[in-house]
Chains A and B, each alone.
Chain A
C-alpha cells in the first residue's frame, strides 16, 4: 500500500492519524481491555469454560441460527434490493424506508413484538401451530428474530451495486443470445457476489452478538435455546466477570476467524473476475463504501 505520487486532496498524514486514533479508541481499546482481562485466566481455563456442556450447546445455537438468518437474508435481501432498484412501483419510497426500520427499532421491542406475533395465540402463531410449526420459544424463533434484525445489511449493501449495473448490460447479453438464466448467473451474479458476501458477513456478525430481541422469543431453555450472550449475562449475574470475559473472547475469536474467511473469499472472487473491469470497479467501490 504505497502512497500515490499525486493526490488531489492533501492531508493524508492527518487523516491516517485520525483514523488510527479513532479506531483505537472505539474498537481496539475496549477489545484489548477485554482480552487483557481474560488473560487473568489461563488458556486452559478459557477452553474449559467454553467446552462446558451448556456453553457448547449455546455456541452451536448461536452460530447455527446466525448462519441461517444470514443465509435467509442473503437470498431474500437480494430479491428485495433488486426489486427496489429495478422496478418502479407506487409506494416504493415507503418500502425503501421500511427496510431501515429494524435498525431503528430497539431490539427488545422487536423481540417482544415477534414473540407476541408467533406465540400460540398470536396472529401468525395461531395459524402456524396447528400445522405443527412452533416458532416462539423454540430455536426457530431465534432465527426469525435474527433475520428481522439483520435484514437491512444485505439490502443496503446490494442496492448501490445493483444501481451501478446498467440495464444495457442485460440487454447486450440478451442480444448476444444469452438465456435469462445465463444472463443472471454469468453477468449479474458475479458482479453482485462480492457485495452479497459483504452483506452476508455483516448480517452474520451482527446476528452473533444480538441479545435484546432473542431472549424474548427464544425460550432460553438450557441446552436447547440458550444463546451465548445469555450465558454471558448469566455469568455476570453470578458476578463472575472473568468467566463472562472468557466466553466473550472465545466468541470474538471464532467470529474473527469466520469474518476473515469470508473476507478472503470475497477478495478471491473479486480478483477472479478482473476481466469484467467496469462492473468490478462498481462492486469494489460499493464494497469500499461499506467497509
Chain B
C-alpha cells in the first residue's frame, strides 16, 4: 500500500532526473550547506543560459574528512568543496584528484576564505584582546577537539603561529603557550556547532574560538547583542579548497560541467554569494563593499607558517604529534 501511495512521488523523482541532461554531485563539508544552497541555482541558471543544457546538482554534506573517505571509497562526486587542504591532499595521494590541484584554480583553489576569531560575552567582561589573554589563568575557552576537527586544528595552529611571532618565539615556546591555552579548555566539543551551543546556550566559558563566518550564524540564532567579536593581532586565514575528481568526471564524461561549476565560484555572482554567506570573497572590490562584515585583520596561511597542510597535520595532530606531547609526558 505504501508503494502505491509513493508511486506518483517516485515517478516525479524519476522524471525530474530524466529531464536534466546531467547530474553533478558536489561532496562538501558540513556547514557549507547555506553557501551551496544559494550557489547551485545560480550556476544552473548561468549554465542553461550559456549552453542550453540543464544540469542537476546534488549536494552531499558531512564532516570534511568523512566526505573525503567516502569519495575515496567510491562515492561518485564530480567535485569536492572542502574546508581543509589536507583532505584534498588525501584524494590526490589516492590518485583521484590531480597532484597539482591547488594550481588548477586561482587563489590556491580556494574561492573564498575566513579567519579564526574570538567570540566573547557582551561587554567583553574579561577584556580579551589577543591570544595571550586566552591563555591567562582563570579564563575558560570553548573549542572543538583540536585533534579531530578542522575548526579545533585551526585554533591550535593560530595560537601556535601567534606564539612563534612573539619576541624570542620558537617551537618550544609555542608548544608551551599552546599547552597553557589548552589547559583553559574545560572540554573539547564534538564539533564546531556543538562548541557554539556550549558557549552560547549553556553559557560555558569566556571565549569561543571559531570561524568569522560562524559569528554571523550566531547573531542570527542568538541575537546580535549577546556577544562581541574580537579580532586577535594575528590569526589564520582559513581556506576552502575545491577540486575536480578526475576519476569520476572522466568516467561520467562531465569534466566540462564540473570545471564550469567550480570556475563560476570566482565569477562576480559566485563571489557575491560567498560574501553574503559571510565568507571573505577573493575579489578585492567586493571585500571593500562588504567591509562592514570583514574588518581588516592580519592573517597568515598554513603554507606560510607551517609549510603546507599535510606537514602541519603530521607535526601537530598525528599520534605522537605536539598535541599528544602536551597531554602525554613520555
The reply to whether the CB of B129 lies closer than 8 angstroms to some CB of chain A is no
A54 touches B324 (CB 8 A): yes
B204 touches A223 (CB 8 A): no
B202 touches A121 (CB 8 A): yes
Closest to B190 in A: A215
Write out, one digit per residue, whether chain A residues 228-254 have a CB within 8 A of any chain B CB (1) or not (0).
001001111111100100000000000
Report the minimal beta-carbon distance from B206 to chain A, rounded to whole angstroms.
13
The reply to whether the CB of A120 lies closer than 8 angstroms to some CB of chain B is yes
Give complex CA distance A126, B70 in Å.
Answer: 42
B202 touches A115 (CB 8 A): yes
The reply to whether the CB of B328 lies closer than 8 angstroms to some CB of chain A is yes
Chain B residues contacting A220 (CB-CB under 8 Å) are 145, 187-190
Give complex CA distance A43, B327 in Å.
Answer: 26
Asked, given contacts A116-B202, A216-B194, whether A236 binds B65 with beta carbons under 8 Å apart, the answer is yes
The reply to whether the CB of B69 lies closer than 8 angstroms to some CB of chain A is yes
The reply to whether the CB of A222 lies closer than 8 angstroms to some CB of chain B is yes
Chain B residues contacting A120 (CB-CB under 8 Å) are 202-204
Closest to A54 in B: B328
Write out, one digit per residue, whether chain B residues 12-32 have a CB within 8 A of any chain A CB (1) or not (0).
000000000000000000000
B330 touches A239 (CB 8 A): no
Give complex CA distance A120, B187 in Å.
Answer: 13
Chain B residues contacting A121 (CB-CB under 8 Å) are 202-203
Q: In which size bucket is the chain A interface?
A: 20 to 34
A52 touches B327 (CB 8 A): no
Asked, given contacts A53-B328, A236-B69, whether A137 binds B187 with beta carbons under 8 Å apart, the answer is yes
Give complex CA distance A219, B328 in Å.
Answer: 18
Closest to A216 in B: B190
A222 touches B204 (CB 8 A): no
- CB < 8 Å neighbour of B187 from A52, A112, A116, A219: A219
A53 touches B330 (CB 8 A): yes
Chain A residues contacting B324 (CB-CB under 8 Å) are 54, 222
Q: In which size bucket is the chain B interface?
A: 20 to 34
The reply to whether the CB of A95 lies closer than 8 angstroms to some CB of chain B is no
Give complex CA distance A23, B319 in Å.
Answer: 36
Give complex CA distance A219, B319 in Å.
Answer: 20
Give complex CA distance A115, B145 in Å.
Answer: 17
Give complex CA distance A239, B328 in Å.
Answer: 22
B328 touches A238 (CB 8 A): no
B327 touches A239 (CB 8 A): no
The reply to whether the CB of A122 lies closer than 8 angstroms to some CB of chain B is yes
Give complex CA distance A218, B329 in Å.
Answer: 23
Task: Give residues of chain A (85-123) contacting chain B, Cβ–Cβ below 8 Å.
Answer: 112, 115-116, 119-122
- CB < 8 Å neighbour of B148 from A54, A219, A233: A233
Report the minimal beta-carbon distance from B90 to chain A, rounded to whole angstroms.
6
- CB < 8 Å neighbour of A52 from B147, B201, B319, B329: B319
Asked, given contacts A116-B202, A121-B203, whether A54 binds B190 with beta carbons under 8 Å apart, the answer is no
The reply to whether the CB of A28 lies closer than 8 angstroms to some CB of chain B is no
> Most chain-B CB neighbours within 10 Å: which of A53, A122, A220?
A220
The reply to whether the CB of B317 lies closer than 8 angstroms to some CB of chain A is yes
The reply to whether the CB of B308 lies closer than 8 angstroms to some CB of chain A is no
Asked, given contacts A53-B328, A243-B319, whether A137 binds B186 with beta carbons under 8 Å apart, the answer is yes
Task: Give residues of chain B (284-305) contacting chain A, Cβ–Cβ below 8 Å.
Answer: none
Report the minimal beta-carbon distance from A238 to chain B, rounded to whole angstroms.
6
Give complex CA distance A122, B203 in Å.
Answer: 10
B145 touches A112 (CB 8 A): no
The reply to whether the CB of B315 lies closer than 8 angstroms to some CB of chain A is no
The reply to whether the CB of B197 lies closer than 8 angstroms to some CB of chain A is yes
Chain B residues contacting A223 (CB-CB under 8 Å) are 327-328
Chain B residues contacting A52 (CB-CB under 8 Å) are 319, 328
The reply to whether the CB of B37 lies closer than 8 angstroms to some CB of chain A is no
Chain B residues contacting A216 (CB-CB under 8 Å) are 190, 194
The reply to whether the CB of B224 lies closer than 8 angstroms to some CB of chain A is no
Give complex CA distance A14, B58 in Å.
Answer: 44
The reply to whether the CB of A41 lies closer than 8 angstroms to some CB of chain B is no
Task: Give residues of chain B (136-175) contacting chain A, Cβ–Cβ below 8 Å.
Answer: 145, 147-148
The reply to whether the CB of B318 lies closer than 8 angstroms to some CB of chain A is yes
Report the minimal beta-carbon distance from A112 to chain B, rounded to whole angstroms.
7
Closest to B318 in A: A238
Give complex CA distance A194, B102 in Å.
Answer: 62
A122 touches B148 (CB 8 A): no
Chain B residues contacting A137 (CB-CB under 8 Å) are 186-187, 204
A-B contact pairs, 9 of them (CB 8 A): A54-B328, A112-B197, A116-B197, A121-B203, A219-B186, A220-B187, A220-B190, A237-B65, A239-B90
Q: Given contact pairs A112-B197, A237-B148, enumerate 9 new A-B contacts (beta carbons under 8 Å).
A: A116-B197, A122-B202, A219-B187, A220-B187, A222-B327, A225-B187, A233-B148, A237-B317, A243-B319
A-B pairs with the 8 shortest C-beta distances? A219-B187, A119-B202, A137-B187, A222-B327, A220-B188, A215-B190, A53-B328, A234-B148
Residues of B within 8 A of A (CB): 65, 69, 90, 145, 147-148, 185-190, 194, 197-198, 201-204, 313, 317-319, 324, 327-330
Residues of A within 8 A of B (CB): 52-54, 112, 115-116, 119-122, 136-137, 215-216, 218-223, 225, 230, 233-240, 243
